[in-house]
Each structure stands twice: as C-alpha cells, then as structure tokens.
Chain A
C-alpha cells in the first residue's frame, strides 16, 4: 500500500520516503484517483521517484494506469550528467503518436458517401496484425527513413513540407539508424506505412464543441461544419524491437538485482549505451513519423477519389511515448533535462521555440484521442504545465479494465450497434477487435481533460466526436 496525501482538489502527493529521491505528484480528480489507486500506478510512480538523477518529482497524469516499470501517464525528468535514460520510461511502442488533420469537406457532404470512404480507406491504408505496408522498401531506404522521419516521406512524394513543419520535432528526431539492430530493421521493413492493430485507429470526426474560439481559430479548428481526421499509430515492430534490444543490453551491462521491477532497467544518459539507446529511440520515432506521413498521403488520395478536390491540412502531430532533451526551469534556473513521457503528451505554452511558428504565440496544440467511439479533444499547451509537469499533460482516456474482461463481457456486435445508434460507423478487421476496444474499458475522457484544464496543464480548445472509425 502506498501512502498518499491530498494536496488540493486535483493534486495528490506521495511524500519522499525510503529510497525515493523526490516525491511523486498525481494530478487527478477524486473519481479518477479512485481507479488509479486500485492498480499498481502509485507503486510504479514511487519506483520512478527512486531513479538516479530524477528532478523535482515523478509526475502522474489524470489518465494514468499501471504500466510496466513506469506507469502509463508517467512523466519524469533526469539530470543529463547524473541521471538515467530508461527504455521502460518511453515504452515499447516508441513514438506511439497522434496526428490531427483538418479538411474543408462539410459534414453534410461527408455523410453522403461515408460508407464508400471507410471502405476505400480500409483498402488503401494497410492495417491489422502481421499485415504490412503496401510499399516495399529495402534496407537502404529504411536507413533513410530512420534518419529523416516524415521529411523522408515528403521527399518521396508522400505529402508536403507544411505537414512535417506541423509535427513535433518537425517530424525528424536526432537519430542514428546504425544504433538500430538488423532484427529491428527486419521487423520494420514490411511494416512501413501501416496503421497496425490494437488501440490504433483512423477516425473521421466533426467538431462538436468549441471552448476557446480565439485559440480554435489559431489552430484552424473554428469551423464546426467541416470534418477532421485523426490518425493514431506508432513505430510498429521496429520500435518494439529497439526497446527489447536495449532492455537486454542494459540488463547485461548493469544487472537488475537492485531494481524493484526488471522493466525499470536503465543506463546513465551520458554513457555510451545510454546515448546509443537515445539515438536508436530517435530512429524508432522517425519510423513512426514517416508512417503517419504516408498514411496522411493515402488519406488525401482516398478523400479526393471519393469526394473530388478536398483540402486536407495537418493541424499537429504529437508524441505519446518518448524521451527528449528539453530546457526547463528548476530552482529558478533554466536547465537541460531528459524528459521521459510514457503515455503523456508534451504541452508547451506560448513562446517555446520547439513549437511551430504558426502556434508560437498561443501555445502548442495538444491532441488527446478518446477511446473508440467517444469524443477526442484538442487542448492548448500552457506555461503552468511547463512549471508543474515539465510541460506535459494526459494522452488519452486510459484503460480501466482489461481486454480479456472486455471480451468476456462485451460483444463486438453489441458495440457496433451501440455506436450505430450514436451515428458512428465502424469498420474493423474482426468483431473481437471492436469488443476489446469498447468505450466501457476506458476511463471517462471528459473527466481526464476536465482535470487537465482545471489544473491548467492543458486547456480545453475543442471537442471532436467520431463519425466513422477504422480499426486494425
């Protein structure tokens, strides 16, 4: 049992004790905390607070749940000289991320041919387990992808420069493809340009509520009549293998006897191994950026085929599973730290140089996908987040029950019918893939973003609701 205190309405704290180097801070409402405290989230946050070089506090976002090693919805920053970097603090799906597109297609026009559209998307955007992309590439090409990310895809004709300029890191992290094993590359080769399966999806939505008109306008999301498109996917098997490879190598080098959880294995950031992992992780992130860039291109082609000329622009693309070197204020001084976000979104306020020019005066768009069939949200990053969470907020709804429970209690047909009643069409590879992502197994996304807004770590801008969903 982990001891914790309530600090204020949405703020909780695990005081420093035992081997903890810093306290842990949880941002959650009473209701969210009721579920968070039931699994191992708090214990895992306490473990993170014991890792070498951790700064200020281990942070837990409102959508948090138990992960492996670090909790999902966990944020931790480490000193670049004394601190560590941990593959388990990033997650297996390196740069699992979300891109939001806006269109000039009206909801009314969309609805006329929406069935044709979802069928065509299903054919043109590869998805599902063990199913790869439609573009066959060789190893030399993959090395380019791993170096250049979304920029490689645009050079190859998949989309335009504006797309990656509105992507975190301009769609390209600093990376070394040679730090990625042959085995990881073999897993990535057939999967470039594919959505994957599980919780990954492609969704057509409409804006149904605007909370902040000025910022909605700055994000180009002021028009309730037009549909938006959300793409959620990651680095597929390539990223998973990078994580596994470095977990093994770090175990061999540093051992895991003193760790409360083998998944907390880490290396000093400034060690050769730590640096190699960082650059391999960057390569995995670039694979994910390229992936979404290619999917964006196919989405444009499919919309054009079905509806004729449609303008489709990237709003923004945010990472959920990543470690980054960033400058943050600690004890009044700006300091470079390695921020791990595992199931958390960067939420930088106005003025940060990392934000694209077009958004710099208001703060970055923060895209929070809901679960299948529920609303998703766009928030705006804040200065408060920079002060109290190393510029981070939640990343989604967060699960409350397991997929096995979902499969026992919920049928895919039932979920499809319930969604149909709400006017949502869904196409998936199987009934089971619908059942296991049923809205019932996730936390209440409205509650998650409300807490983010109230705490001020990501403020509400618009809510979008699904019209059509494609799942792997």
Chain B
C-alpha cells in the first residue's frame, strides 16, 4: 500500500468536524494513551508523533528551525508505528530535538520515510513530564472508510 500525506497538505485542510481533531488522549491509570487520526496511515502516524510530544510540550510552540530525515522499517504496521515514534525519541535523547511538525511522511510497504522539522530544547523551551518509551500495550491501528485511527500507549 502506498500512502503519501505531506503535512502542509494536512495543515491546509479545512478544519471541518472530521478533520479538526488530530489526536485525543484517553483515560489510562499510569501511562499516556492516545488515538491519532488521519485520512491515510501516514497522516495518522504523523499525528501520533504530535500526540506523543504533546505529552512533554506543545509542538505548535516549537519553531521549525532544523530538519531531520527519518527512515525506518517494521515487520508489520504496528512495528512500523512503534519504530517511527522511537526514532523521534532517539532524536530527542541524543540531540534534544523537539518536534514542531512532520513535513513529509511516506509509507511504502514495510518502510517509512519522513522529514521532520523542529528545534533543539537547548534553545530555551519549557518541557514537562517524560515519555520513556513507546509500548505495544493496547496498540491498535484501525482502518475505516477514509479514516485511520492509530492508538498508542507510551510509558511515562
């Protein structure tokens, strides 16, 4: 399956009732659980990335100063989602990279390629909480007509 959803396209989408919500957080005793929405798998994955970082800061507050390219693989869609989010945590831990937006995301079979924009935490950003890891716990990728819902629980 080939999915292509450049984020600027998403941003330009009219905020109709179906598109207004990029993600929502659900009740969970200990960890952070969210559902991310998109018309395509790529868009849902991009919104899952925004949701994960929203645990620690508001991506909308981060300037898209620097870009990073991500390429990852996964043996199934859940593994791909897990690995994609983990790549972003890797950038956070190794460079202090805070995500502002996903500029481009392409999912082709088992391979995901993306370009993300953001800034370094050292440039004066306030953060809170911590995402320690992505988990497979209650992970779900649901495909409905014109809608993909990606559910993730992250360890905090």
Contact = CB atoms under 8 A, between A and B. Distances in A.
A223 B32 CA distance: 41
Q: How large is the interface on B (under 10, 10 to 19, 20 to 34, 35 or more residues)?
A: 35 or more
Q: How large is the interface on A (under 10, 10 to 19, 20 to 34, 35 or more residues)?
A: 35 or more
Contact of A93 (B86, B132, B136, B137): B132
Q: Which of B25, B56, B128, B155 has the most CB of A within 10 A?
A: B128
B11 interface: no
A190 B30 CA distance: 27
Interface in A297-341: none
B96 A92 contact: no
A218 B33 CA distance: 44
A72 interface: yes
Contact of A402 (B27, B93, B126): B27
Contacts, number: 139
A320 B137 CA distance: 20
Q: Which of B27, B33, B90, B98 has the most CB of A within 10 A?
A: B90
A262 B29 contact: no
Interface string A370-413: 00000000000000000000000000000111111100000000
B126 A430 contact: yes
A68 B89 contact: no
A129 B92 contact: yes
A441 B88 CA distance: 28
A438 interface: no
B139 interface: yes
Contacts of B95: 130
A426 to B, nearest CB: 13
B32 to A, nearest CB: 6
B145 interface: no
Contact of B133 (A65, A240, A472): A240
A196 interface: yes
Contact of A187 (B30, B94, B137): B94
Contacts of A431: 128
B132 A186 contact: no
Taking chain A's interface residues, is the majority helix, strand, or loop, or is none over half, making it mixed? mixed
Taking chain B's interface residues, is the majority helix, strand, or loop, or is none over half, making it mixed? mixed
Given A92-B135, A130-B92, A240-B133, A403 B32 contact: yes
B65 interface: no
Contact of A190 (B93, B132, B135, B139): B93
B70 interface: no
A440 to B, nearest CB: 14
A186 B127 contact: no
23 contacts: A65-B30, A130-B121, A183-B90, A189-B94, A190-B94, A191-B93, A196-B130, A197-B56, A197-B128, A197-B130, A198-B130, A199-B130, A200-B130, A237-B89, A237-B93, A247-B136, A251-B75, A261-B136, A403-B55, A403-B156, A428-B128, A436-B129, A472-B130
Interface of A: 39, 65-69, 72, 91-93, 128-132, 183, 186-187, 189-191, 196-200, 236-237, 240-241, 243-244, 247-248, 251-252, 261-263, 399-405, 428-433, 435-436, 472
Interface of B: 25-33, 55-57, 75, 78-79, 82, 86, 89-90, 92-98, 121-122, 126-130, 132-139, 153, 155-156
Given A92-B155, A129-B57, A403-B32, 16 more contacts: A39-B29, A128-B121, A129-B92, A130-B97, A131-B121, A183-B90, A186-B94, A190-B93, A241-B90, A247-B136, A400-B29, A402-B25, A403-B55, A404-B27, A428-B128, A431-B128
